[in-house]
Chains A and B, each alone.
Chain A
Amino acid sequence: MRAGDETAMEALYDRYSGLVYSISLRVLRDTSGAEDLLQEIFLQLWRKPGSFDPSRSSLGPWLAVITRNRAIDMLRKRRPESSIEDLMIATPPDFADRVEQSWAVDKIGDALIKMPPDQRKALEMAYFDGLTHSEIAAKTGEPLGTIKTRIRSGLLSLRRIFGT
């Protein structure tokens, strides 16, 4: 039974470790920190498999979101902000299938390239650098309202591109 569990864990790791590691590395910009977080995320899944609820989300997006959130917590040296059990994500996308994942990677890359540079920068600063809207406003010298609009409409434009 135990061997069976570990095989299931290995299968999950092989499928999603690239996703979790890439996001960790992008946020933390440090390979050893990213490796630690990769370990933490999968160990947590092993210890508390019930924290992922398949009725609330697909596993790929769930891992992507909790990895990013946890990485930002680490960056800000704070305790985890939100309970991962509460996380609900609209059904699409799932990144389980490698083809689908690489399709989505290409599509998101393309969408960001086509986005006005100021908007892309604001999204990246909020999402990957974990800066608050006010910090982004201070850093770019733009009004706070402009930053809020840029970020929200940026996300909505991504949603339109993926047709959901």
Chain B
Amino acid sequence: MSVHEQFAEELVLLALGELTGERRTSVEHHLQGCTDCREELMKLQSDLARLALSAPQVAPPARARTRLMDAVAREPRVAPRPKRTPWMLVPAFSAAVLLIAAALLWQQNARLRQKIAGLQTDLTDRQAQLAEAKQIVATLTATDAMRVTLVAAKTPPQPQGKAIYLRDRSSLIFLASNLPALPPEKAYELWLIPQTGAPIPAGVFKPDARGSATVIEPPLPNRVEAKAFAITVEPETGSSAPTSAILMVGAGE
């Protein structure tokens, strides 16, 4: 858009109805031959129409509708025009109002089509994001995934757990490695230790043959501030409060 800079401000004034006299005539003259400036004026009118929406929305009193429709009913059917009989104009008049209604429907239809196209693009994007998210979760949770914890050289493998917790979404992912195997009737249980109050159960799990385990999105109360996460050994079905000593614990970094 290459609006003629010398007219840029004048176009704003024109749209606001502030331009008068010779300046107005000169801008209007320029507009007749300049598509860019005409387009800019149309866009400014559109900007101003939006600005109009910032007026606090107030419904008119119900009597205004009655008053209007009464006035409409009292209106003569047609504006008197020479050389035409009123009955000839009735259909033309009706057609004009109906045309507006039809144009309105047509515009609505076009807008809905645009919306559908927009939603389809949105859906494709979301499907791509979902596929990516699924891929990440699949990699994190695959039983055949190779899990490597890097530690200082010559350190014997230690049981390790990593909890990733997003309080605002109450979302938790927990990954563990090198966990010792447990008797069949026992399982590990993860606990969210809140800032105040009792530990909250955050998932029961058993490690695989290589000592790896994951807990993905266990049910948790909303937006609890976590002070730490801990693991205990519990009966296979899990406990509502820890019944054994803490094996592993970690506080937020």
Chain A contacts to B: CB under 8 angstroms: 1-2, 4-6, 8-14, 17-23, 25-27, 31, 34-35, 38-39, 42-43, 45-47, 49-50, 52, 54, 57-62, 64-65, 67-69, 72-73, 81-82, 87-97, 100-101, 104-105, 108-109, 112, 123-124, 126-128, 130, 132-133, 148, 151-152, 155-156, 158-159, 162, 164
Q: A17-B60, A46-B72 are in contact. Are A64 and B97 (CB under 8 A)?
A: no
In the complex, the 6 A-B pairs of residues with the closest C-beta atoms, listed nearest first: A26-B55, A54-B103, A61-B49, A21-B60, A64-B52, A49-B96
8 Å CB contact of B104 from A26, A59, A73, A90: A59
Chosen A-B contacts, 16 in total, with CB atoms closer than 8 Å, are A1-B90, A12-B104, A13-B69, A26-B56, A35-B60, A43-B72, A50-B96, A87-B45, A89-B49, A94-B108, A95-B53, A104-B53, A108-B50, A112-B54, A124-B54, A155-B47
Residues of A within 8 A of B111 (CB): 94, 96-97, 100
- Residues on A with C-beta less than 8 A from B8 are 152
Given contacts A23-B52, A43-B68, A126-B16, contact A155 B44 (CB under 8 A): yes
Residues of A within 8 A of B94 (CB): 1-2, 4-5
Q: Which DSSP category, helix, strand, loop or mixed, fits chain B's interface?
A: helix
Q: Which of A11, A87, A91, A93 is in CB contact (< 8 Å) with B50?
A: A93
Chain B 16-54: CB-based contact to A (< 8 A → 1; otherwise 0): 111000000000000000000011011111111111111
Inter-subunit contact B45/A65 (CB<8 Å): yes
Q: What is the interface residue range for chain B against chain A?
A: 35 or more
Residues of B within 8 A of A67 (CB): 52
Q: Chain B: residues with CB nearer than 8 A to chain A?
A: 8-9, 12-13, 16-18, 38-39, 41-61, 64-65, 67-69, 71-73, 75, 77, 79, 90-91, 93-94, 96-101, 103-104, 106-108, 111
In this complex, what residue of B is CB-closest to A157? B47
Residues of A within 8 A of B56 (CB): 22, 25-26
Is there contact, CB below 8 Å, between A4 and B72?
no
